[in-house]
Amino acid sequence: MTDRPLLILIAGPYRSGTGDDPDQMAANLARLEAAAWPVFAAGHVPMIGEWVALPVLRSAGADPHDPTDPLSEKVMYPTAQRLLEHCDAVLRLPGDSHGADQDVAIAHRRGLPVYYRAEDIPVRASGAVVG
């Protein structure tokens, strides 16, 4: 158990394996977002890099759903790297993903815990949601 909420980056496939199909990327984002509730229910704060990167791309005038946009490479991975300077842990979801593998490597270098199942995340002493 922990007494303060952890900021936990949820890492997994977003663009990987989609052939850059926007519908498949949206489905991958939905899978990432489905992991947000178990993190929150354990009393922590879930974070997904795309929650930050996609609005950044949009505000820069890029199409956030076009991974071939030149700005995409300058925003997507760097966003996760910057977030990991603030995160306390990573939840790595299944599936091939170069970006998620990079997130795990950064977490290991920083000495952050990496969880591979939501149920392995420690429940916060106070603040967990029941139900």
Is 125 part of any domain?
no
Q: How many domains does the chain have?
A: 1
Q: What is the mean pLDDT of residues 59-86?
A: 92
pLDDT at 91 over 90: yes
Question: How far lies 83's CA from each of 9, 22, 62, in Å?
Answer: 8, 24, 21
Q: Indicate the pLDDT class of residue 3, thresholds 50, 70 and 90.
A: confident
**Structure tokens, 6:** 């952890």
Question: Would you state the pLDDT for residue 57?
Answer: 95
Is 109 part of any domain?
yes
pLDDT at 131 over 80: no
**Mean of pLDDT over the chain:** 93
Three-class SS state of 120:
helix
Quote the CA–CA distance of 31 and 13 in Å, as a whole number. 9
The pLDDT tens digits for 6-59 are 999 999 999 999 999 999 999 999 999 999 999 999 999 999 999 999 999 999
pLDDT at 1 over 70: no
pTM, full prediction: 0.92
Residue 7, phi-psi category: left (phi > 0), alpha (psi -120 to 50), beta (remainder): beta
**Structure tokens, 48:** 């997904």
Is 46 part of any domain?
yes
Residue 100 sits in which domain range?
A: 7-119
